[in-house]
Each structure stands twice: as C-alpha cells, then as structure tokens.
Structure 1
Amino acid sequence: MSDVIKTPVQQRSIDKKNRLLKAGLDLMRERGYYHVNAAEIAKAAGVSTGIFYRYFENKMDLVLEIMNQIVNDSFKPLIQEFIQKDMDQTNFITFISKLLDELSEIHEGLGILHNDVNTLLSTDETKCNLWMTLEDQIMQLFVNAAKQSNLEMVNPEEKVHIAYNLVESYCHEKAFHKHDYIDYDILKQEIIKTLVHIIIA
C-alpha cells in the first residue's frame, strides 16, 4: 500500500483513476460494499492493486470520491440551472420535477452500495463526519442558489433542510423500498406540491 495518496496530473493517470471509480461503482452497486475488494476493483479497471492504493486509501475513500463526483457532475449543473432561470412558480415546478427524476436515478444507480454505505457510516465516526460534510455542502449549494433566485425565500436554510430530507425520502422509496400500494406518479406530484408550499409559501 502506498504511504502517500497521489492526485493524478497527467491525463493517463487521470484516466486510470476514473477507470477505478467506474469499476468500483459498477462492482459495488451489484455486489455491495462488503463483497468487493480493492484487488477486484483494480482488475476490473485494468490496473494493478498498487495503482488503486496510489489514488485511494481504501474502498471507503473511493466511495467518497464517487459521491464528490456525483455532486460535481449532477448537483452543480442543476444548481446552475436553478440560478440562471428566471424562477417563478411554474419554472420552479418544472425544475423540481427534473430534480426528483435525476436524484432518484442517481439513487437507483448506486444499487446495493447505498444501503451498505449507510450501515458502514453508522460504525465509523470519521467517515460519517466526512459524509455529513458532503451533505452539508450539497444543502449549502441549494441555500446559496435560493438566495440568488427570484423566489425571495424566507428562512432558506431551514426550508432547504426540510426539502432535502423530503427529496431523500422520495428517492429512497422509489429506488429501494418500492411499496406495492404506492403510485409513484401520484407520489411525485404530492412531493412537488409539498415542496412548492415549503419553498414558495
């Protein structure tokens, strides 16, 4: 294992790290966090195990990097869209509908890994704090976006916190719980109405 975790600079090295991230996500979403090891991830990425440890301290380090990548690739473009639109109630409803679709797709894409990570974080305070910091960053991005919008939101921190947890609950239900008695089209519309009331009222 490398004593120093490196940040790749050359394109070839960046490509290797990205292949490790993709291979790790592909394997862990299907088999779970606990049933995949670094050597298997490295093999699937077409690199040596030593290369894995050049860029990641361990599997959890790789997972946190995946989450950061999701924030940069998915959340930040959505937030930019939120800021750039002349946001009124109609635009807000369209935006929330798109947000729910994209975030539920992200959750579904994490597969078994999602629940395994929640279990792991409950036993590792350091990693849990890192995860909470990431969640805080996501919510702060939305708070800052709300302040820059035309919505004139009162108590944005508190409202975004409520909205975030409501959206998370919807995504978990749609991606993992899948109750037979739930009509997900109706659930989505009810979530949208609730979010409009929370954010705009």
Structure 2
Amino acid sequence: ALDPYTSHGHDGLIINNEIDNDETNKVLIKQALIQAQAGCDIIAPSDMMDGRIGLIRNALEKNKFFNVQILSYAVKYASNFYSPFRDAVGTSSTLKSDKKTYQMDYKNSEEALLEVKLDLDEGADFVMVKPALAYLDIIYKIKQKFNVPVFAYNVSGEYSLLKNGIKSSLAKEDIILEVIYSFKRAGANAIVSYFANEVIEQYLS
C-alpha cells in the first residue's frame, strides 16, 4: 500500500478528490517489481485496490518472476483497530477521511468471500484477514470454502488493548496465548502479530 508514502495517508493516489484505482495500480505494479528484483519471495499487496492482484501477477510473470508468490490482503476491513499503527507511521494527523470507499465494511461477510475468490482467480497464492480478532468467523468461512492458506493479522489496536489490560492488571499474560490460539482454532495457517516475542517467551518458559 502507498499510505506510508502519501501526504494524505491514503493507500492510493488521490486525483480529483477521489482515490484513483487504476493509477494506483500502476504504482503498485512498479512497487511489486522493485521488491521482486530485490529478492522478495512473497509480495503482499495490502491496498485493497480492485484488480491489482491480476495486474501484479501478470507483471511478475512477464518479467520472469515465476516463483514469486502473492499474499493478498483480500480481506482488509475499514477498522478502528489500526489507530496505534497509524500513530506510529504518522498518518493519523494527515488522514482527513476514512478508507471505507476501498476497505471492507465490517458489517458484511459475503463480500469477504467474494473478494477472496476474485483474488485467487487473479493469481493470489494465499490470503490475509486483517484485523483478525473480531473476524474469526471470516477466517473460518474462508478456510471452509477455499483450499488455500489463510493468514491472520493480529493488528496494533488488538495488541494495545490486550497489552494495556495486562499492564493495568485487568488480565494475565495467559490472555496472549488464548487469543493466538483462537486464530489457529478458526483455521489460520499463519499469524502475523506484535505478540511474537511474548508468544515465544511463553512457549519457552
């Protein structure tokens, strides 16, 4: 996605006061090729622009990057759980509008399944669900419907809620593994989490 690099904090280019899907895709293709040339084994577009998976797949194959895989952020919700990350990268102050025109509505589940199918048809190798904790049902539905690896993204807001709860003695450290196991139980094959160090420490202790 382009949000760390844009002055307005959106994942795409703004032209005439609107996110321009097609122009953004042109930049995403260049970004993907640069990453592949640098040696990336997996490209993970998280922008939620329509059609970008197929365009990136075609560009990779045209440039003979046949073994580079695509992890599509096929299911990325317009969520309140991203706030700490946006604070960290400095987009909270620059983002003047929400991302609901291109990220998913959290009230909808069928859209997630449709988007996963579209991205797989376009050449994605596996898919990401982001955030994860409030969307265990989506992880489960994807895993039941598609024979594809599913990643769960345990995002910054989820991390902060639990971490602050532990610091305030409202919960014990064991809550971390309880949440991580919920992702696995829902069907996630892999988990991206800010709790990675804590999980390792709990396993080793």
Report the TM-score when normalising by structure 2. 0.29
The structure whose residues are more often helix, as a share, is 1
The structure whose residues are more often strand, as a share, is 2
Q: 1 or 2 for the larger relative contact order (CA 8 Å, sep ≥6)?
A: 1
Report the TM-score when normalising by structure 1. 0.29
